[in-house]
Amino acid sequence: MKTLRLHHETGRSVSLLAGDALLCRYVYAPGLDAKESPKPYFHPLNSLAGDTLTNFRPNDHPWHHGLCFTLNQVAGVNFWGGPTCRRADGYQWRDDHGVQQHVAWTRLEAAGAQAVLAHTLEWRRQDEVLFREARTLEVAVDAAAQSWSLHWRGCLTNVSGRPLALGNPHSHGGLAGSHYTGLAFRGARALLDDHLDPTIKVTAEGGHEGVPAVHGTAARWMEWHGQLDETLRRVIIRFENHPGPLHWFVRRNYPLAALPVQFDQDRVIAAGADLAVDHTLTFTSL
């Protein structure tokens, strides 16, 4: 059994070690530039075999931060980072970025092959708080299967006193197919480079295979079957949405998966209402 250990860099990050090896690092106070819409993120996030699976601040999109949960647009506030897409004038750099701020830890523990990281956050734009969130991150290691899982749950309560419309460049900006928002995984560049190998692929529930078939389709789960550079080790990353099917967002040439909370229509969260997310990611070394 791989025993999990916690290392807390107070005021900055929490690292989980499986035995003596770093499994993942959760940076809850990142201190990034405002234009990247600072938010907590996992990086590095490693397989049990020791391969790093995430990419942080890649040169094509520096506001992609490993594995993180974010919302593209909330009532005109950009929590994704980078330029904002609007129907009238497309992508433009704007002074509209928000930030997710850690408030307090409610659980921070590791025992045996399991760990729980739970904290509260505020989603804010300058002095206005739009959401208060309770987030729970549960890690479980299955050493016999060479896999580990991350169960990501969040409850975001609209505390703004007004309805909040959630949008993405598809629903809000008129850019068909660009419906990225929600939990986002920016993968290592090598993961889906197939070099004509048909076993390196993207699949989804219902027999869907390949990015054209999976992107935008409604399914409960999606899988990446990938391979890493240098070690040549293979990995399967499984993304699951527990409440039911969602419309997957996936890119292969710059590996990105998103579990969107809304698709082709803006979604309105009433004042005082909650937005719940419930996902599991599983990382299996082959």
Contact present, 16 and 24 (Cβ < 8 Å): yes
pLDDT tens track for 235-283: 999 999 999 999 999 999 999 999 999 999 999 999 999 999 999 999 9
- For 126-248, where are the E strands, in sequence order? 128-142, 147-158, 164-167, 182-186, 201-204, 208-209, 218-219, 221-227, 234-241, 246-247
| Separation between Cα atoms, residue 109 and residue 114, nearest integer Å | 9
Structure confidence at residue 55 as a pLDDT band (50, 70, 90)? very high
CA-CA distances (angstroms) from residue 36 to 79, 82, 285?
A: 8, 6, 32
pLDDT tens track for 177-210: 999 999 999 999 999 999 999 999 999 999 999 9
Whether CATH 3.40.50 fits 4-285: no
pLDDT tens track for 119-159: 999 999 999 999 999 999 999 999 999 999 999 999 999 99
Q: The pTM is what? A: 0.97
What is residue 221's three-state secondary structure?
A: strand
| Separation between Cα atoms, residue 6 and residue 171, nearest integer Å | 40
